[in-house]
Amino acid sequence: MTVDEATQTNSVPTKSDEATQTNGLPPRKDPQAGLLNEVDASDDRWTVDSVVSTITPRYAENTSSPVPFFHLLERLKTTPRAGWCRFGIKNPESISDHMYRMSILTMMAPKSISSKLNILRCTQMALIHDMAEALVGDITPVDNVSKAEKSRRESETMDYICKNLLGKYNGGLNGEEIRELWQEYEDSKTLESHFVHDIDKIELILQMVEYEREQKGTVDLGEFTWVTKKILSPEVRAWSDHVLWERMELWQGLEKKPSWWDDDVTPK
């Protein structure tokens, strides 16, 4: 359940993370997608084939048809977002549920943002950014998988999808476009990728409050509110403040104070 490579969302930031924050915003680090620069990454034996070999029937590779890729996408529809499972949410959203709403949110960008960005590219990026989780799964910080190892798995999965499944379809152009969009999100250097990272965070916060409403205050998901401090654009931060205000009203209406309430993200 990843917000981005630098800010995974199902865990409270560590003391070292908190120490690096300035005015509520941490320095942005470029994700090292696919780079094995940590010892523990090189020692892991996870491979794409170790997952694909368990799928029956196995996806047909190196064909001119996109149908095997279409079948792989089904896994995104049926793989739950792992962070919610940790809190006992029954029938939680799937990875594709998350990406779908993100794509719609990008289309709601106000003119102050849309005038600066390629919104179509943002929408495409939102629909692709977690695609590797179809085989990798939704790795969370509690899974004890290093950032470098997670990046390796996801990068190799995207290579498999874009080359083995789509490399011979339409001259490989569609696969190349998907791989490029995914890498742009991972590298987080363009304005479009920064916006989609912000959208990733606001979608998480929306779902957090919706589950708390659904559970009528029996589940406290405020652990996730800290990600709002990492939203960069004022426009998306305003959306986030609105949602956090709704959350405050929810808990006040229940006459409860959630155990996870970060005063730093209390809406003004």
User: What mean pLDDT is predicted for residues 70-81?
Assistant: 96
Q: Which residues pair with residue 22 across a beta bridge?
A: 25
The reply to whether 68 falls in a domain is yes
Residue 90 pLDDT > 80: yes
Round to whole Å and give the CA distance between 195 and 188: 9
Least confident window among 13-27, 99-113, 147-161, 189-203:
13-27
Give Cα separations from 245 to 159, 226, 258 (angstroms). 42, 14, 14
Number of domains present in the structure of the chain: 1
Give domain status of residue 206, yes or no. no
Q: What is the pLDDT of residue 35?
A: 35
- Indicate whether 241 belongs to any domain: no
Q: Is residue 21 part of a domain?
A: no
Does 265 fall in a domain?
no
The CATH number that applies at residue 180 is 1.10.3210.10
What pLDDT is attached to residue 33?
34
State the average pLDDT over residues 84-106: 94
Instruction: Give the model's confidence band at 1: pLDDT under 50 very low, under 70 low, under 90 confident, else very high.
Output: low
Mean pLDDT along residues 116-134: 97
- CA–CA separation, 189 and 176 (whole Å): 19
8 Å CB contact between 73 and 59: no
pLDDT band at 104 (very low <50, low <70, confident <90, very high): very high
Highest mean pLDDT among 8-12, 24-28, 41-45, 201-205: 201-205
pLDDT at site 260: 78
The answer to the question of residue 261 being in a domain is no
Residue 169 is assigned to a structural domain of this protein: yes
In a domain, 195, yes or no: yes
Domain residues for 182?
Answer: 38-201
Residues 6+ apart with CB under 8 A from 120: none
User: 63-67, 144-148, 185-189: which has the minimum mean pLDDT?
Assistant: 144-148
With tokens 């659904």, the residue in question is 214
In one letter, which amino acid is 85? C
pLDDT tens-digit map of 22-64: 333 333 333 333 333 444 444 458 999 999 999 999 999 999 9
Task: Provide mean pLDDT across the span 60-78.
Answer: 97
Mean pLDDT of 94-105: 98
What pLDDT does residue 44 have? 56
pLDDT at 133: 95
Q: Which residues are CB-neighbours of 15 under 8 A, at least 6 positions away? A: none
- pLDDT exceeding 90 applies to what percent of the chain? 71
